[in-house]
């Protein structure tokens, strides 16, 4: 069973929106809550959006080998996925969504190759991505420019993913992802 469902996309491409829509569509799909050392943004809930750790706590978990993947983004904040969450989903044969950057996605795919299904989500265009990032209102122009720079590097990984879709309509993208999950796991029972 390919139950670790990785969604990866450039920032602002709608990963979080897609993950939430997929969970509304199928309540048996869980969500892997990543750890981060960045501060909470307005409206975020610890343990729901991220598990917020101090730099020191994060580094200690790295030393203990608790992460399946981790990365320090822009030299500022750590982000990572705990092995325990993934291994519990595998053991219980539960579908688990992972919202990851491309490097994290490749790390998980390498470690749990028989259990992962990786999907790269693209925005319809660069202009659309810029508009989404501006409307989101969480980043400065400088930070948006950095995110757009990173897009080129992320697109180079696209061919390493099992599937890729264009998120120009959330409902259509969710339909596509659900079809991919069902096709890849045909004949395998999962759910509550």
Q: What is the CATH number of the domain that holds 116?
A: 3.40.50.300
Q: Which domain holds residue 164?
A: 4-184
How many domains are there within the chain?
1
Does some domain include residue 192?
no
In a domain, 190, yes or no: no
pTM for this one?
0.83
Q: Phi then psi for 67, rounded to 5 degrees?
A: -100, 135
The C-alpha R_g of the chain, in whole angstroms, comes to 16
CA angle 54–11–88, rounded 5-degree value:
55
The answer for residues whose C-beta is within 8 angstroms of residue 116's C-beta and 6 or more apart is 2, 4, 5, 6, 108, 109, 162
Show pLDDT as tens, one digit a residue, over the chain (192 residues).
Answer: 999 999 998 776 778 889 999 999 999 999 999 999 999 989 999 999 899 999 999 999 999 999 999 999 867 899 999 999 999 999 999 999 999 988 899 999 999 999 999 999 988 766 766 676 677 767 677 776 776 677 777 878 889 999 999 888 889 999 999 999 999 988 665 554
Is 108:100 a contact under the CB 8 Å cutoff? yes
Q: Is 191 a member of any domain? A: no
Hey, what are 87's tokens?
């291994």
């Amino acid at each position: 069973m390919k139950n670790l469902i990785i969604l990866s996309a450039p920032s602002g491409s709608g990963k979080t929106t897609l993950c939430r829509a997929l969970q509304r569509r199928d309540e048996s799909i869980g969500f892997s809550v990543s750890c981060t050392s960045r501060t909470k943004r307005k409206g975020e809930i610890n343990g729901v959006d991220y598990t917020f750790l101090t730099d020191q706590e994060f580094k200690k978990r790295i030393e203990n080998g608790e992460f399946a993947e981790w990365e320090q983004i822009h030299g500022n904040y750590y982000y990572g996925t705990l092995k325990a969450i993934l291994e519990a989903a595998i053991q219980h044969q539960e579908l688990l969504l992972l919202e990851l950057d491309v490097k994290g996605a490749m790390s998980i795919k390498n470690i749990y190759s028989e259990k992962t299904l990786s999907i790269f989500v693209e925005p319809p265009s660069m202009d659309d991505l810029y508009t989404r990032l501006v409307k989101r209102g969480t980043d400065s122009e400088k930070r948006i420019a950095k995110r757009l720079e990173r897009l080129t590097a992320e697109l180079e990984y696209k061919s390493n993913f099992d599937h890729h879709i264009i998120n120009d309509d959330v409902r259509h993208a969710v339909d596509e992802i659900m079809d991919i999950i069902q096709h890849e796991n045909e004949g395998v029972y999962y759910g509550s």
